[in-house]
Amino acid sequence: MLLLTRSPTAWHRLSQLKPRVLPGTLGGQALHLRSWLLSRQGPAETGGQGQPQGPGLRTRLLITGLFGAGLGGAWLALRAEKERLQQQKRTEALRQAAVGQGDFHLLDHRGRARCKADFRGQWVLMYFGFTHCPDICPDELEKLVQVVRQLEAEPGLPPVQPVFITVD
């Protein structure tokens, strides 16, 4: 009986055996092993010539392809929605930070008071650093000078004013 539970081919071989009358049955109502086995088999196992019935290979491949395309499309739509929400959050964070909004009052290297109105009509490149910085600040200021030269060489751009603000 253990063989019957493990192997589907054993069911098929056993169903071809000659039916026997089980002992202890009444009159002509004998249970046949074959009819019991056939009633236990599923629809795929009872098809003609032992071949399982169902959709063909092309149909299965088509269904699998359509299912995969649907999943891929859903994934792309979710990814685009996630990127849109992230961009919306970034924009909102920049609005809250209000970079460049408001006025400022600082002293220049000659001791004169400077404010935002002094730079109207110009592009301002602000750099925050230290006056006593031997490692990084000179290199960064050199990069700032190169950017200003490139922008000044472009015709039609407003004048560029670099502003170095020291924090020490």
Cα(148)–Cα(123) distance, integer angstroms: 10
E-strand ranges in the chain read 105-107, 113-115, 123-129, 160-166
Cα(38)–Cα(12) distance, integer angstroms: 9
Cα(101)–Cα(98) distance, integer angstroms: 5
Which among 138, 130, 105, 135 is positioned nearest to 119, based on CA atoms? 105
Q: Is 115 annotated as a binding residue?
A: no
**3 state SS for 79-119:** HHHHHHHHHHHHHHHHHHHCCCCCCCEEECCCCCEEEHHHH
Known binding positions: 133, 137
Known binding positions for Cu cation: 133, 137
